[in-house]
Amino acid sequence: MVHPIAGACGKCGDDSVKQLAVGRRHQVFELPEIRPEVTEHQLMKGRCAGCGCRRHAGLPLDVPAGCLGPRAQAHLTTMTGVFQLSRRETERYAREVLHLDVSLGTISNTEAVVSRALAPAYREAKLAIREAPHVHADETGFQRKAQRTTTWIFSTLMLAVLCVGKDRSRRSRYRTLGRNFKGSLSTDRYAVYADIPAHRRQLCWAHILRVFVALVDEKDEETAKVGRRLLRAGQGVIHLYNSLRRGQIQRTRFDRCIRRYRHYLEQCVGRHRALPGLKTLAEAFLLTPASLWLFTTRPDVTPTNNMAERDLRPFVLRKRKTFFTQSWRGDRFIERFATAVQTCRKQARNVFDFVVSSLAGRQSLLPASDG
């Protein structure tokens, strides 16, 4: 839209204009009013002319069995799965913004349909995680019906697989990674990972620094003094790694300085292993040191487990602000949808478009119980 110069010149009063050109561009973005398109499919019925049996027409394969199409289903589940709205808030959003008169039951059944549509992609992601050379693993617990339940996260640079509603045992880890997992893991010091060989496990240095910080906060001055020494050395290790990653130091200098820090930390932790928190940490430094320094020999391994913790954070926020799920079907929706959201984010893909395309191949599914 072009807007001409209106009125007379404020300086001389002349209303004629010459040398016209675009002086400034002002763009306004507006959304059209959302109105659902309703398509009625009339299924004919009749009797066979030969034998008289009843006959009914069936829906084409590209027509959903329910009352919502793929984009409407993706809209509702994006509200509950990505933006973490409650089902009642989603019902209100659908009624006031999308002009869809849906019930809470319809939203729940839509989540089941989307969950089943995402099941093949979820299984593919689990298989890819099992073949990954290095995986970041973490877990978090939550209460459901007065029972303690655990959710696991397994992350790589391009994948994130969430497993909701499991226990916190080694068996649950096997269900996702398998018993014959050949890669390496970045983990915390939880004992369930103790069966991983030290040369295939990287302990998170962020957790180790927390132990050192706890020593600094102790009231005993001698303990705090040891904690400050260990904390400075641990922070020096992380600073060296970041400098190498940014290209600020050469690899030879990194290896030389790491050897010095390693010798100092092992000596200091070994001498003060009786201090609170250092007993189990001393076992890692002295008995399984390879699990602390794997990142120094492999460029694909980082010293912390922050990747898994970042991918798990949306789930943690969700469980704190809602009553979470109350059924097995709800668990499957959360883990599959969260896996799709985090993986699409890592791969710079649009999660809404991914859900729509997944639903397009599953149009004949009924909104029944999740399988």
- Two tokens, residue 179: 């018993």
pLDDT band per the 50, 70, 90 thresholds, residue 363: low
Backbone angles phi, psi at 282, to 5 degrees: -65, -35
What Cα–Cα distance (Å) separates residue 312 from each residue in 48, 188, 306?
59, 14, 10
Residue 341 lies in a domain: no
- Two tokens, residue 330: 């709800």
- pLDDT value of residue 97: 92
Q: Which of 50-64, 157-171, 218-232, 319-333 has the lowest mean pLDDT?
A: 319-333
pLDDT band per the 50, 70, 90 thresholds, residue 293: very high
Residue type, 216: V
- pLDDT value of residue 9: 83
pLDDT band per the 50, 70, 90 thresholds, residue 337: very high
Tell me the CB-side half-sphere exposure of residue 88, using CA atoms within 13 A.
2
Give the domain extent around 211.
Answer: 135-308
pLDDT band per the 50, 70, 90 thresholds, residue 368: very low
- pLDDT value of residue 265: 95
Mind listing the pLDDT tens digit for each residue in 188-215? 999 899 999 999 999 999 999 999 999 9
Three-state secondary structure call for residue 178: coil
- pLDDT value of residue 366: 42
Q: What integer is the mean pLDDT of 216-240?
A: 93
- pLDDT value of residue 327: 81
Contact predicate 277/261, CB 8 Å: no
Q: Strands 184-187 and 134-144, how do they pair? A: parallel
* Alpha helices, DSSP H, located in the chain: 70-81, 87-96, 104-130, 170-177, 205-216, 221-245, 251-271, 278-286, 306-321, 328-346, 351-360
Residue 39 lies in a domain: no
Residue 250 lies in a domain: yes
Mind listing the pLDDT tens digit for each residue in 245-266? 999 999 999 999 999 999 999 9
Residue type, 308: A
Overall domain count for the chain: 1
Alpha-carbon span 85 to 92, nearest angstrom: 10
- pLDDT value of residue 66: 83
User: Dihedral (C-alpha) 267, 269, 270, 274: value to the nearest 10 degrees?
Assistant: 150
- Whether the pLDDT of residue 322 is over 80: the answer is no
Residue 68 lies in a domain: no
Q: What integer is the mean pLDDT of 258-282?
A: 90
pLDDT band per the 50, 70, 90 thresholds, residue 319: confident
More confident residue, 126 or 317: 126
- pLDDT value of residue 369: 34
The structure's pTM equals 0.86
pLDDT band per the 50, 70, 90 thresholds, residue 92: very high
Residue 30 lies in a domain: no
- pLDDT value of residue 362: 64
CB atoms within 10 A of CB 213: 14
- Whether the pLDDT of residue 321 is over 80: the answer is no
Q: What integer is the mean pLDDT of 18-23?
A: 80
- Whether the pLDDT of residue 290 is over 90: the answer is yes
Residue 25 lies in a domain: no
Residue 355 lies in a domain: no
Closest CA to 342 of 90, 165, 156: 156
Contact predicate 366/66, CB 8 Å: yes
